[in-house]
Chain A
Amino acid sequence: MAENLRQLRDRRDSVATTKKITRAMELIASSRVPKAQRKVRSAGPYAHELKRAISAVASHSQEDHPLTRPVTDPVRPGVLVITSDRGLAGAYSSNAIKAAEELTASLEDRQEIKVYLCGRKAIQYYEFRERPVAHTWSGFSDAPTYQNARQIADKLLADFLTPTEEGGLDEIHLVYTHFHSMLIQQPRVMRLLPLEVVDYEEGEESGEPEEDEEIFHQFRFEPDAASVLDNLLPLYVANRIHFVLLQSAASELASRQRAMKSATDNAEQLIQTLSRKANQARQAAITQEITEIVGGAAALTDSTPEE
């Protein structure tokens, strides 16, 4: 019986330690979420300016650019999957991977799908299943910088601009997790390339009115519209990637916070049950001891010969 009591107490103590850890992780995550959201917001002005500039140039000139040219019969799509580096974030990474699986299943009729991965969780998933991967990045999932986005953009653009016959891509899709609120984060699929410059966004930005389109009409371009567009579009691609990385980082932190909160709650419940059981066991041991003593004393009195 005493053995059992000790076991229960040991378990309770170990759950209490776990609870301390999950509580700490919850607090860390919840303090980082606002920071991640702030980053999303402070990248807003750049995205807004760039968007205005591109719509200006695009409406001004009917330039045919390799990055915007629609592909009629794509044969080799690329898929970039963004997940977290670390686990303990609930279903965050597996949801993104699931969305990616659905996407690749729908692209199955194409010749060959090239997969690009971002975040250690996705890399582990693909390595375990021994699937081919074109390129991977990791180590920055909860605090991505613009430099990270540039590296990814440079690689993707280089592959996209390679002719299809030589193994280049003719379409690039992104799978990321959109941050709606602290409670809702949804995996989303977006086509990155070829770019759709017109109506590509559904109110992700501050919702500025877009009535200032026509003021761009009489622009003078230096050196000319084509090279300005040449300069702008890669920036735009990098900006999109930066945006989805920031969104994913915020989502990761929010879902880690939620996962850790429920882990803490569970630990609390477990501690309560274990304490009750331990108390019960202790009480049972005491009762038994008393019964034994009383029984022993009674037996003693009974056996003593009367004098």
Chain B
Amino acid sequence: MAAPKPLHVDVVAADRQVWKGDAVNIIIRTTEGDIGILPGHEPIFANLVPCAARIITDDGKQEVIAVDGGYVAVDDKGHVSILAQYASRSGEISREGAQQDVDKISRMMDRNEFSEDDVHRLHLAQAQLLAAKHIAAQKD
């Protein structure tokens, strides 16, 4: 059987297109748990939780993108769209900055003074931290 065509992936955030390209594997965390998407996946539409999405491109590279929720949609033509309000590629993330954000917002939450917005920021920062860890693990 001929290998199915690679997936066409679009990652969009509210204010820009974050990444676009062909991929052979996507690992992403939905509200129901991690799923892997390979070429030829059935059409699916899933809500995401804040996570680091890992995309293996067709030339074997790994792209890690932190998303703060949103959804992933796969259609029967192999087109995958990952949509999140905020998303950032691993290259744009500073691990220290993300850690600081997590610490700061967690402290605010301990004191019980936080807004909807802070929760979002916490999720994003946690996702960024995860993404940074993946990258670090890859380098070792």
List the interface of chain A (C-beta within 8 A of B). 39, 42-43, 45-46, 49-50, 52-53, 56-57, 145-147, 149-151, 154, 215-216, 218-223, 227-228, 231-232, 235, 238-239, 242
Contacts and interface: CB of A to CB of B under 8 A. Distances in A.
Given A49-B83, A50-B83, A242 B14 contact: yes
Interface string B109-140: 00000001100100000000000000000000
A149 B13 CA distance: 14
Interface of B: 10, 12-17, 30-32, 42-47, 69-71, 73, 75-77, 81, 83, 85-86, 116-117, 120
A220 B12 contact: no
Contact of A151 (B10, B73, B117): B117
A49 B14 contact: no
Contact of B32 (A49, A53, A215, A222): A222
A49 B81 contact: yes
Contacts of A57: 45
Which residue, B15, B42, B46, has most C-beta atoms of chain A within 10 A? B15
A46 B32 contact: no
Contact of A46 (B12, B46, B69, B75): B12
Do most interface residues of chain A lie in helix, strand or loop, or is the interface mixed?
helix
Given A146-B85, A151-B117, A42 B16 contact: yes
A46 B13 contact: yes
Nearest to A151: B117
Give the residue among B14, B31, B45, B47 with the most A Cβ atoms within 10 A: B14
Contacts of A227: 31, 47
B44 A219 contact: yes
A87 B46 CA distance: 46
A52 to B, nearest CB: 8
Contacts of B42: 220
